[in-house]
A and B are shown apart, each in its own frame.
Chain A
Amino acid sequence: MRWLLPYPLLALALALMWLLLSGVSPGQVVLAVGVATGASHALAALGEASPAIRRWLAIPTLAGVVFHDIVVSNLEVAGILLGIRRTRGAGFVTVPLTTRSPSALAILSIIVTSTPGTAWIDYDAARNEVLVHVFDLVDEAHWRQLIAERYERLLMEIFE
């Protein structure tokens, strides 16, 4: 199975993208499958290991949590910018992490940055710490706990 499709998720995403861009018809399905297989074999030449997903069940939970947090922080940041809410000062927070899985770190950085109000600035691989800039910094412990408990624990369930 591995030699046939080195990156099954990537191949599926590529095929879906092809079909969305060109419309669904039998001919396009054949083309999409061909392109997806060829492209994932081309990527396999780079020798990057495919991320192994341990628990698929945690993915919808994580997606729900992230969706909720993006909506809430959109409202908070919009409120501050409109002058409805007052910001209690912005600042940097150093967050110690436990996971070292590259996939978990990549997804964690995307979650943290795409949520308005928090931005992933720098990652220190030696100390496994990340520097996060928070727009509305109430207390640092709250943000450390939020990132570790809410996102990192779920990501570790998925990838480790």
Chain B
Amino acid sequence: MSVHLADVPLWAAILAAFFLVLGAGLALLGTIGLVRLPTFYQRIHAPTLGTSWGAAGMVLASMIIFTAASGRLVLHEILIGVFVTVTTPVTLMMLGRSALYRDRSERNPEVPQFGASDADDDTAQGAS
């Protein structure tokens, strides 16, 4: 299926352009944070900008343009939004946990040692 952008009414075009700029801008801002922030645990917050409203903006813009240009409801882009919303927390949680595990095993003073899920870290804390 293909549509012509000229068929989109002006108000829809302006709305979609706003969401496009917002989404891409937030994604860019997130990666700027990824480069500028000093520690890993701070950097883990940066990509969520791109995956929450960054992705939502692009998905909304795409939905508006395809719906307005084809004259019928085009909603399949929402699958990308749902998919990104559900998968990003999973990857970030796993990355956070593995980073914490590595930092704890190296006795990195930046991360809290208490509340460790295995007894190994508790004995290590007692020894140090």
Using a CB–CB cutoff of 8 Å, the interface residues on chain A facing chain B are: 17, 20-21, 70-71, 74, 77-78, 81-82, 90, 92, 94, 109-110, 112-122, 124-127, 129, 131, 133, 135
Contacts and interface: CB of A to CB of B under 8 A. Distances in A.
Question: Which of B45, B75, B76, B100 lies at the interface centre, i.e. has the most chain A CB atoms within 10 A of its CB?
Answer: B45
B96 A21 contact: no
A130 B76 CA distance: 35
B124 to A, nearest CB: 16
B48 interface: yes
A115 B45 CA distance: 9
B89 A122 contact: no
26 contacts: A20-B79, A21-B79, A70-B52, A78-B26, A81-B29, A81-B36, A82-B29, A90-B42, A94-B114, A110-B86, A113-B48, A113-B92, A116-B45, A117-B45, A119-B45, A119-B93, A120-B89, A120-B93, A120-B96, A121-B97, A122-B100, A122-B115, A127-B115, A129-B115, A131-B100, A135-B45
B56 to A, nearest CB: 9
Ranked 9 nearest A-B pairs via Cβ: A113-B89, A121-B96, A116-B48, A135-B45, A81-B33, A110-B89, A20-B76, A74-B53, A133-B41
Interface string B37-48: 001011011101
A70 B52 CA distance: 8
Nearest to B53: A74
Given A92-B111, A119-B44, A74 B49 contact: yes
Nearest to A129: B115
